[in-house]
């Protein structure tokens, strides 16, 4: 590899690499500034620069890389899955169901998206494939909160260990829809005051800077406990997660890397950081 001096031009290129990976201008600048202080003027290869940059980013991500705490003894541990439209909530529930079942746990799904066409049937198919019981509404357009109440009551009776509650996609700036989500939580708490034990916000890696707004509002409105980032098998890098880590410090539990039930991985700071700067 050819060595080159880490000069202003090289630093600018680095900043652009980070911006192109969706870190946003502010986070990209902060990282490059740190880099300037320690390494400016040194002779380095491209690979060395990238590796060092990845390390810097991994250090930012490491504190938020954490598995989702799970207490099956709660029978059930309730996970409420939320997010804007089309990010991958329903598919992520299927993936979690698969993973927990492989770990020997008894899972059930709640088809809480009573709004979108065939959302219930979508989850039902995933339930069949992953061996999870699916609590579905009795009729179309039923109340999601009522369904969650019934499902949790049934889950307590039948020994379900993990109850994964799907919700309809909703944009964070729609207050009526966000209020509806709060109602689901209130009703769940009537059955079990400690529930939901996890509120998982699902983000799409293709999303740019708007993810900051999504996390801010969902966190305020429904006490998000952690994040999952989907669609990382694509060309999008998901760099906004770095800005999210710096701004909110919410744990990132999972990454989605495909459309199949097996395509869920733990979030690993180092791997993620290397992906961002274009190192395999």
Helix (H) or strand (E) holding 87: none
CA of 186: how far to CAs of 176, 183, 190, 191, 192, in Å?
15, 5, 7, 9, 10
Q: Evaluate the CA torsion angle 176, 248, 232, 128 in order and state its sign.
A: negative
Tell me, residue by residue from 36 to 55, as one string, x for binding to another protein by CB under 8 A and - for no binding.
Answer: --------------------
Task: Tell me if 137 contacts ligand GTP by CB under 6 A.
Answer: no
Q: Radius of gyration of the chain from Cα atoms? A: 21
Q: Is 85 in the site for ligand GTP (CB under 6 A)?
A: yes
What is the contact mask toward another protein in residues 190 to 229, using x (rule: CB under 8 A)?
--------------x-xxxxxx-x----------------
121 contributes a contact to ligand GTP by CB under 6 A:
no
Given its phi and psi angles, is residue 212 left (phi above 0), alpha (psi -120 to 50 degrees) or beta?
alpha
Using rule CB under 6 A, residue 130 touches ligand GTP:
no
SS (H, E, C) 41-60: CCEEEHHHHHHHHHHHHHHH
Chosen residue from 110, 119, 222, 240 binding ligand GTP by CB under 6 A: 119
Applying CB under 8 A, among 8, 73, 176, 235 the residue interacting with another protein is: 235
Which residues ranging from 212 to 251 are in contact with K ion (CB under 5 A)? Answer: 232
Interaction of residue 230 with Mg ion, rule CB under 5 A: no
Helix axis angle, 175-191 to 144-158, nearest 10°: 30
User: Which among 125, 70, 158, 154 is positioned nearest to 260, based on CA atoms?
Assistant: 125
What are the structure tokens assigned to 204, written together?
A: 């799409």
Residues forming contacts to ligand GTP in the complex (CB under 6 A) are 83, 85-91, 113, 116, 119, 169, 171, 230-231, 233-234, 256-259, 263
Residues forming contacts to another protein in the complex (CB under 8 A) are 16, 19-22, 24-25, 84-88, 115-119, 121-122, 124-126, 129, 169, 171-174, 204, 206-211, 213, 231, 233-237, 239-240, 259
């Amino acid at each position: 590899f050819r060595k080159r001096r880490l000069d202003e031009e090289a630093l600018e290129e680095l900043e652009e690499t980070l911006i192109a990976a969706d870190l946003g201008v502010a986070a990209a600048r902060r990282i490059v500034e740190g880099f300037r202080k320690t390494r400016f003027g040194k002779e380095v290869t491209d690979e060395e620069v990238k590796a060092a940059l990845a390390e810097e980013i991994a250090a930012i991500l490491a504190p938020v890389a954490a598995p989702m705490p799970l207490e099956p003894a709660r029978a059930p541990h309730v996970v409420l899955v939320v997010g804007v439209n089309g990010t991958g909530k329903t598919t992520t529930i299927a993936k979690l169901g698969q993973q927990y079942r492989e770990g020997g746990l008894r899972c059930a799904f709640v088809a809480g998206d009573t709004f979108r066409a065939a959302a219930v049937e979508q989850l039902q198919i995933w339930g069949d494939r992953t061996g999870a019981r699916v609590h579905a509404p009795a009729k179309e357009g039923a109340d999601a909160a009522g369904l969650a109440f019934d499902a949790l009551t049934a889950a307590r009776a039948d020994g379900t260990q993990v109850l994964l509650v799907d919700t309809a996609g909703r944009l964070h700036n729609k207050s009526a829809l966000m209020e509806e989500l709060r109602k689901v939580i209130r009703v769940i708490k009537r059955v079990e005051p400690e529930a939901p034990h996890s509120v998982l916000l699902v983000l799409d890696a293709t999303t740019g800077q708007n993810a900051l707004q999504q996390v801010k509002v969902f966190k305020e409105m429904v006490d998000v406990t952690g994040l999952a980032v989907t669609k990382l098998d694509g060309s999008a890098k998901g760099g906004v997660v770095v800005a999210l880590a710096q701004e909110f410090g919410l744990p990132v539990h999972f990454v989605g890397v495909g459309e199949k039930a097996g395509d869920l991985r733990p979030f690993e700071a180092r791997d993620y950081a290397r992906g961002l700067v274009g190192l395999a």
